[in-house]
Amino acid sequence: GAVVSQHPSWVICKSGTSVKIECRSLDFQATTMFWYRQFPKQSLMLMATSNEGSKATYEQGVEKDKFLINHASLTLSTLTVTSAHPEDSSFYICSGDRKGDYGYTFGSGTRLTVV
Amino acid sequence: GQQLNQSPQSMFIQEGEDVSMNCTSSSIFNTWLWYKQDPGEGPVLLIALYKAGELTSNGRLTAQFGITRKDSFLNISASIPSDVGIYFCAGRTGTASKLTFGTGTRLQVTL
């Protein structure tokens, strides 16, 4: 089945530094990748949609200069949280759309803690 | 962002009992999806529904796509301890379009 590998699974960083999260589709080409943020005991909230080779589309209220998304290939998308602050601490999850697959495959998530 | 109303918010049931949860929306979706999320993990797809009125099963799980396209339900029969987790519904308007998630149903199963 389709697998999306997400790394790292957890990261602790100091306030003001940047963190990069990677998502790789291992056995399919993801033309579209979605990035979500999930706070404790809450649902997944879509942050942005990225298509390979083009700029990401951000949801309302999500700062595009703070959450940099790169989707340079059909198998790799990255999310960089720049100048992280404690309020950015959350669970970040990516999902990939395999053409013809109607249920997107999710990564295992990254727990980000900013101290 | 928009979220779908999912109920109940949480359930505490005994092993062997059946479970039912539903999801409602103010807008129409063309695809309904049901996911299960374990702690510290990403959601895993359980069932996908593509047509209004469709009833689909996956083992002990059964889900239906509401005829109005604005709701869906998920049933779990004869629950077991590994059914514990958070269940999310999600709606989508078209292929490759974004998902709108429900608020989640937290399921606890006691022996």
DSSP characters for B29-51? -SEEEEEEE-TTS--EEEEEE-S
- Say whether A102 and B95 touch across the interface (CB within 8 A): yes
Residue A100 pLDDT grade (very low, low, confident, very high; cuts 50, 70, 90): low
Contacts of residue B96 in chain A, CB cutoff 8 Å? 31-32, 97, 99
Tell me if B88 sits within 8 A of B34, measured CB to CB.
yes
CA distance A35 to A44: 10
> Does pLDDT of B1 surpass 70?
no
Q: For an interface test with B, give the residue of A38, A41, A46, A102 to mutate (most B CBs within 10 A).
A: A102
Residues 6+ away with beta carbon under 8 Å from B21: B6, B7, B8, B11, B73, B74, B87, B105
A109 close contact with B: CB closer than 8 A? yes
Residue with tokens 């109920």: B7
The answer to whether A33 and A21 are in contact (CB under 8 A) is no
Distance from the Cα of B33 to chain A's closest Cα (Å) equals: 7
CA-to-CA dists, residue A7 to A12, A33, A108, B4, angstroms? 13, 15, 8, 29
- The widest CA-to-CA distance across chain A, in whole angstroms, is 42
How many residues would you count in chain A?
A: 115
Interval A60-99: pLDDT, tens? 999 999 999 998 898 999 999 999 999 999 999 999 887 6
Task: Using CB atoms, pick whichever of A32, A97, A108 lies closest to residue B42.
Answer: A108
Non-local CB neighbours of A115 within 8 Å, separated by 6+ positions: A12, A13, A14, A15, A86
Q: 10 Å Cβ neighbour count for A72?
A: 11
Sign of CA dihedral B86, A91, A68, A52: negative
Whole-number Å distance between alpha carbons of B52 and B75 = 17
Query: Residue A36 is encoded by which pair of tokens?
Result: 């979500």
Q: What is the pLDDT of residue A72?
A: 83
**Band of residue A101 on the pLDDT scale cut at 50, 70, 90:** low
The bridge status of strand A67-73 relative to strand A57-58 is unpaired
Say how far apart CA B49 and CA B32 lie, in whole Å.
5
Report the mean per-residue pLDDT for chain B. Answer: 94
Residue reference for tokens 């080409």: A29
